Structure 1
Amino acid sequence: MSLLDASKASLWVSLASITFNPLFWNIAARREHRTRWLSELCGGPRQGCYAIAAAIFSLGLVRDALFRTAMQEQPALAALDNRVVQAVAVAAMGAGMVLVVASTYMLGITGTFLGDYFGILMDARVTGFPFNVLDNPMYVGSTISFLGAALWYARPAGLLVTAYVWLVYAVALRFEGPFTAMIYAARDAARDHPSQARKSAVKKKKL
């Protein structure tokens, strides 16, 4: 317990930020899918997607800043403060960045930032790197980056925060995966049975 100072408010604020971010984008995007509130507010689905992308990116910067502040106030472990661990930390942060950047490049802005919830669907599943290596490279890359930062700061508390990051992402995936699959299944069904899809759309509009 001497390696974790739970009395520091910065630690709990950091954990709250880590929890809030995926909660925010899932709630906002699902509401968009049901009501198109953000598309109407911003003047179109693409503009709405860019707006939520900016919000998610900004919240990510805040989350990272809060994490750094929390680590600076946590006890360090001398055994982690050496060149070997620092080299591993740099490698982890580099690998995480590669996964995140490569994922964004392959998906584009709308593919990365929940464009499917706005009705901006991709024609086919992306299978190039890093998706040919990992199912969720964006989340894996982000978690690895947290791990690298924890090692760089030589803070054991950072390792616990990293585990919590992965737990939060794992829970988010339990909701995001099936919902995204449902969106694309509805698109495919509409392609196979266009007349039935139009009837469903009219019925939904009346309701």
Structure 2
Amino acid sequence: MICKWDSVDFECLKRSLLNVLESIDFNQKWFKIALGFVGFNPVFWNVVARLEYGTRFLTRLAGGARQGCYLLALTIFSLGVARDLCFEWSLRSQPVSAVLNQELVKNVGRVCIGVGQLLVVTSMYQLGITGTYLGDYFGILMDNIVTAFPFNVSNNPMYHGSTLSFLGYSLLQGKPAGLVITLFVHTMYSLALKFEEPFTAKIYAQRDAQRAKKD
């Protein structure tokens, strides 16, 4: 059943949403693997970064803080590529929903992908590799808080941009399974921020306190 987007029929909307959920193959192998990567990746980089902060094991292993950060960056990037590939492979075998397979939805998906990629690319440009990939846990701190775009529209443009990209691709493909994975991506990023933001604030507060003592 396809509802008209120019009018609100809540009963039709309810039936459409049920049809969307029923069309998802939750037992598909790549769907499960994609969810596994989505859940594992932020847990991995938070655990490893905390261990690095407390023990400097990556700094010693790589022969320096910057080299250690690059090693972690390469690992996180590789895990992200594996996650994205599994996400794409999962959607290939998932059914298309008639509710989502409409030009308006596809156009929304294209906009989401465009905005999402813009946030990701400009965030990395502003922060650089060490700023993007947890360099502060290695003692590589930025002199000042970045306030230029995209940080003037989002506190966490990398996470928001990534989530929008997942959402946009799912809408463009018309695959409800992608929306479920996107929701899980958003949930995991939100949980990760609850650990990352206070700890990062603590690191910079300690740096500022040490500077104040020297002055």
The counterpart of 2:180, out of the listed 155, 160, 174, is: 160
Correspondence for 1:87: 107
Distance 1:103 1:96 in 2: 11
The CA deviation at 1:84 is: 2.5
Distance 1:87 1:73 in 2: 22
The counterpart of 2:72, out of the listed 52, 70, 74, is: 52
Identity %: 52
Correspondence for 1:184: 204
Correspondence for 2:191: 171
In the alignment, is residue 132 of structure 1 matched against residue 152 of structure 2? yes
- The superposition leaves residues 72-114 of structure 1 with CA deviations (integer Å, 9 ceiling, x where unpaired) of 1222102322332222212111110000000000011111110
The CA deviation at 1:5 is: 1.1
Matches within 5 A, 1:70-109: 70-109=90-129
Q: Which amino acid aligns with 2:126?
A: M
Distance 2:206 2:88 in 1: 42
Aligned-pair Cα RMSD in Å: 1.3
Distance 1:64 1:46 in 2: 27
Distance 2:66 2:134 in 1: 11
Distance 2:51 2:118 in 1: 31
Report the count of equivalent residues: 195
Distance 1:92 1:157 in 2: 17
Is this contact kept in 2: 1:15–1:161, CA < 8 A? yes
Q: Say which SS state the counterpart of residue 24 (structure 1) adopts.
A: helix
Q: Which TM-score applies when normalising by structure 2?
A: 0.87
Distance 1:135 1:7 in 2: 36
Distance 1:186 1:171 in 2: 24
Is this contact kept in 2: 1:2–1:75, CA < 8 A? no
Q: Say which SS state the counterpart of residue 193 (structure 1) adopts.
A: helix
Distance 1:74 1:194 in 2: 60
Is this contact kept in 2: 1:5–1:74, CA < 8 A? yes
Q: More displaced, 20-29 or 67-76?
A: 67-76
Distance 1:136 1:188 in 2: 22
Q: Which amino acid aligns with 1:69?
A: W
Distance 1:193 1:35 in 2: 25
The CA deviation at 1:194 is: 4.4
Deviating beyond 3 angstroms after TM superposition, the runs of 4 or more aligned structure 1 residues are none
The counterpart of 1:6, out of the listed 22, 26, 40, is: 26
Distance 1:79 1:129 in 2: 35
Distance 2:210 2:86 in 1: 44
| Runs of 5+ unmatched residues, structure 1 | 196-207
Is this contact kept in 2: 1:74–1:155, CA < 8 A? yes
